[in-house]
Structure 1
Amino acid sequence: MSRPKCLVVDDEPIILELSAQTLSPMNIDCVGVGTYTDACEQLKTQTFDLCLTDMHLPDGNGIDLVNLIQREYSNIPVAVITAFGSVESAVQALKAGAFDFVTKPVDIKELRNLVATALKLAEKHEESFSSLVGESTAIQALRVKIAKLARSQAPVYIRGESGVGKEVVARLLHAQGARASKPFVPVNCGAIPTELMESEFFGHKKGSFTGATADKQGLFQIAQGGTLFLDEVADLPLHMQVKLLRVIQEKQMRPVGATKEIPVDVRILSATHRDLADLVKQGKFRQDLFYRINVIELHVPPLRERTQDIPLLVERILQKLTEGNGNAKLRLSANAMAFLQSYHFPGNVRELENILERAMTLCDDNVIQIDDLQLPKLEEASNNHDEYTEDDLLSIATLEENSAGLDPLLEDLERDKIMKALEKTKGNKTRAARLLGISFGALRYRLTKFKLHSNSEQNE
């Protein structure tokens, strides 16, 4: 098996020499060049497993090289060498797709760790996406983004409503990356008492405060080499935000009561259901910390934007609920499934899990009916003249079955057909439903799903 090969791009001979001396004991061949042009020539003529480039080159800059490699040699992890304290340059490189960065003066141990982590990407096998259930366009796009971001060491801010599965996404980013063999440490920032927060994150030395009867490792130490997932990061108090920012920037931390700092090698993933940008404007979240943890933002869609995934989610959840308890296989009636697909789900996937767990205990003959779901909407519908009839629900179920997996183009055609029917009937939904050959309830369901509203809501 041939030795891995690294391309080093820097116009300082001492950096090229240091890189060669550092990588040689790791059985890595090092090819050093001093310009962007020479780097491009080497990439055309040789195969590399890794690239290290300085940010400032005589005929270009490191970002140009990062962009080139992302575009034409995307299988090569590229890290940038930045000036000490140049946070803006490092963030710019990570946003462009750099795997990681190292600062000058280059620390040999840090460089070796970076190179070893980067080379693991070539050995990493594709992890299963089985925990991210669904085949909708939104979920497929999310899978593509996760696969791409897993190759980076950049901090990722996972944005989404409560219950959408932000921790599932964080675990996938870890599992598909080079740090998969190291710990994944999730922490709910809102669940740690303020007075214990510094000790929990950074650890403490024996005797550093009352009750510190022994040395204790902090979350950063436990996650060393792996990933630290900061869930509900918006709940961090301001004094901890300052300390966290410094650890992220300097890659060092000091346990409570310690006299020396220790190196930190973790990837930071963070999430919250709150609007961090708005909290920054209110002065409740530090802008500089937001800038560092939000290098890359990943949005997890709410369940109401991917209703076609509900049957797959239901199947997976019911399978998990009945696993190992000897129960016969549970299923939903067509009416119950249709109703679920018309429900708004403010609590997203977590709410769906709770609904099904409750329905499992209420249903008869292992078939979950509408009444077993006990959705708030059912109680509200009893006083609403728009209540779904059984025929309406069957029509909705038929529509969903026939339209499962439709691409956006076909959905656009369906939307257009409904709008034309409403125009012909001057907004009369009853007549429009008759014209379309579906029940009134099924049409109303479609109007809600596509966010369409007729001009004459009173004309039923």
Structure 2
Amino acid sequence: MSANDTTAKALIVDDEADIRELVEITLSRMAIETLAVATLSEARKALAGGHFDLCLTDMRLPDGEGVELVEHISERHPHCPVAVITAYGSAASAVASLKAGAFDFVSKPIDVAGLRALVGQALKLAGLDHDAPPHPSLDASPRLIGNTPSMKRLRETIAKLARSQAPVYITGESGTGKELVARMIHAEGPRMGSAFVPVNCGAIPSELMESEFFGYQRGAFTGAMRDTPGLFARADGGTLFLDEVADLPLTMQVKLLRAIQERAIRPVGANAETAVDVRVICATHRNLATEVTQGRFREDLYYRLNVIEVHVPPLRERRADIAALASRILEALARKMRLRRVPHLSTGALEALEDYSFPGNIRELENILERAVTLSEDAVIDRQYLRLSSPLSEPSAQQESGMGVARSTNEFSSSAADNGMDTSADLESQLEALERERIRAALEACQYNKTKAAKRLGITFRALRYRLAKLGMN
């Protein structure tokens, strides 16, 4: 912090006098002390002789490039956020500065409102925004479980990214926890007090995408009875998480690119654009570079989103974390199911989990444990209740299991068709319909005596009670 511990101090580096004056006036109205210089060498001298809570630098300076100053500050003054001033439409320069460690960027001609918002975010990073909400406690924040080297590196990366406003591209297999990583980046950064808006891009019908992302005005189309904000507007000041971004159609990719570059949106039916301050984090289990090569994803959007890439490791590469993950999941299940005691795994059950390949990663682990808790009669979960398909070390058994699954699926499809079920529905819906029918038949046969119905179905009373609640049959 600066000398009196209350007033922030900013370093302004630009060779254009009118730009320096505009920035100085804007910051002075925010009660920020400023020092303005015109060259790279003057900036380095100023940094060596004093403390600054923020730096704003032009990309083109008479004696060097602004990215050199970004790298200098990142190495020697890491607690000073630095933002760059770029020429209008110079996306390549902005991306280069963000990769070098810049906090954010502002384009010429400078928009005063946008500059004030950027400076406000920087002050939060420096701990000088007294109106900002307190940092959430460790227990209230999302957390990654595990102490393997890959997870330690991931947490370190998240801490660095939280101090930036650069777009982040999260890669990893389905079920690894990509959304949790995005939430941690948001929760540990200056936007923590604002909204985190997640959206699955593959879940929105293509004809509704524009109105979902950008909102619409009353009368824009049939049924538009009032002005409705879109995802960008709801995330204004916060973070927009685009999950499965590879599922966006090409037409929507063009509009998304413009919204990110211009930091403005045009609701459907509106005549003018509206400025938005949104940090974009995206994720997908696909290889976006391959999607670009095959023409399914725009190259310019790819480079705009993939400023910093973060990889979330699959569960099979961090087996030492399975015990801790299972313990946390079982605690959550005990609260959800209102159990008197928290279930725990037997030695054999834990060994079985550590030998398993987990193609569905943490999401699959959660499903396995929820099923095991439902089937188990006491607080100790034995190996047989896990019902794992086969361990990673037994490929022949795995192939056999796959054949068995195929046979079971064919048998089920035939049975479902015979019973008049919609075999075009997704598998989960089919299974729930079949389960509901079997339970209803057992209850009717036992005059709705749940204890007898559970025995008839070959499950425990607690398992039947859980399934009734899950299927909404109480």
| TM surpasses 0.5 | yes
1:190 aligns with 2:202: yes
**What do the CA deviations read for 1:62-81 (whole angstroms, capped 9, x no partner)?**
10000001101000000000
Q: Is 1:332 the equivalent of 2:336? A: no
Q: Is the 8 A contact 2:357 2:392 kept in 1?
A: no
Task: Report the equivalent of 1:364.
Answer: 377
1:145-199 deviation line (CA, Å, top 9, x unaligned): 0000010000000000000000000000000111111100000001111111100
Contact kept? 2:355, 2:391, Cα under 8 Å: no
AA paired with 2:368? I
User: Alpha-carbon deviations, 1:301-322, whole Å to 9, x = none?
Assistant: 0001100000100110000000
Residues in 2 aligned to 1:282 and 1:198: alpha-carbon distance in whole angstroms: 24
Instruction: Describe how 1:219-238 pairs up with structure 2 within 5 A.
Output: 219-238=231-250
Aligned counterpart in structure 1 of residue 19 of structure 2, from 15, 20, 24: 15
**Is residue 59 of structure 1 aligned with residue 63 of structure 2?**
yes
Tell me, in whole angstroms, the C-alpha distance in 2 between the residues paired with 1:251 and 1:384.
54
Give a deviation string over 1:373-415, Cα, whole Å, max 9, x none.
0001179969869xxxxxxxxxxxxxxxxxxxxxxxxxxxxxx
Q: In structure 1, what is the Cα distance between the partners aligned to 2:229 and 2:267?
A: 8
Which of these residues, 353, 377, 387, is aligned with residue 374 of structure 1? 387
Displacement, 1:125? 4.2
Instruction: Give the AA of the match of 1:88.
Output: A
Aligned to 1:291: 303
| Match in the other structure for 1:106 | 110
Give the direction of change, closer, same or farther, for the CA distance of 1:101–1:352 in structure 2 (3 Å limit): same
- Is structure 2 residue 334 aligned with structure 1 residue 322? yes
SS class of match (1:258): coil
Residue matched to 1:435: none
Matched, 1:151 2:155: no
Q: Distance in 2 between matches of 1:159 and 1:202?
A: 26
Letter in structure 1 aligned against 2:161: L
2: CA distance, partners of 1:379 / 1:343: 5
Correspondences of 1:171-250 after superposition (within 5 Å): 171-250=183-262
Instruction: Report the Cα distance in structure 1 between the residues aligned to 2:17 and 2:137, rounded to whole angstroms.
Output: 40
Q: Is the 8 A contact 1:19 1:30 kept in 2?
A: no
Aligned to 1:353: 366
Amino acid at match of 1:104: K
Counterparts of 2:369 and 2:17 in 1: how far apart (Å)? 65
Deviation at 1:27, TM superposition (A): 0.5
Q: Displacement, 1:362? A: 1.4
Contact preservation (8 Å) 2:232, 2:278: yes
| Separation (CA, whole Å) in 2 of partners of 1:108 and 1:66 | 22
* Residue in structure 2 matched with residue 81 of structure 1 by the alignment: 85
Contact 2:334 2:342 in 1 (8 A): yes
Q: Secondary structure at the match of 1:7?
A: strand
Aligned residue among 284, 295, 302 for 2:314: 302
Normalising to structure 1: TM-score of the pair? 0.81
Letter in 1 for 2:123: L
SS in 2 for 1:323: helix
Q: Name the amino acid aligned to 1:368.
A: I
Q: Is the 8 A contact 2:355 2:392 kept in 1?
A: no
CA contact (8 A) 2:142 2:180 kept: no
Q: How is 1:131-170 mapped onto 2 (pairs within 5 angstroms)? A: 131-170=143-182
Q: What are the Cα deviations for residues 401-447 of structure 1, in whole angstroms up to 9, with x where unaligned?
A: xxxxxxxxxxxxxxxxxxxxxxxxxxxxxxxxxxxxxxxxxxxxxxx
Aligned residue pairs: how many?
A: 386
CA distance in 1, matches of 2:15, 2:395: 76
CA apart distance, 1:122: 1.9
Q: Which TM-score applies when normalising by structure 2?
A: 0.79
Q: Out of 17, 24, 31, which is 1:27 matched to?
A: 31
RMSD: 1.9
* Unaligned 5+ runs, structure 2: 128-133, 399-474
Query: 1:170, 1:305 → 2: CA distance?
Result: 21
8 Å CA contact 2:13–2:39 kept in 1: the answer is yes
Deviation at 1:365, TM superposition (A): 2.3
Indicate if the aligned counterparts of 1:127 and 1:175 stay in contact, CA closer than 8 A.
no
Q: CA deviation at 1:326?
A: 3.4
CA distance in 1 between partners of 2:145 and 2:186 (Å):
18
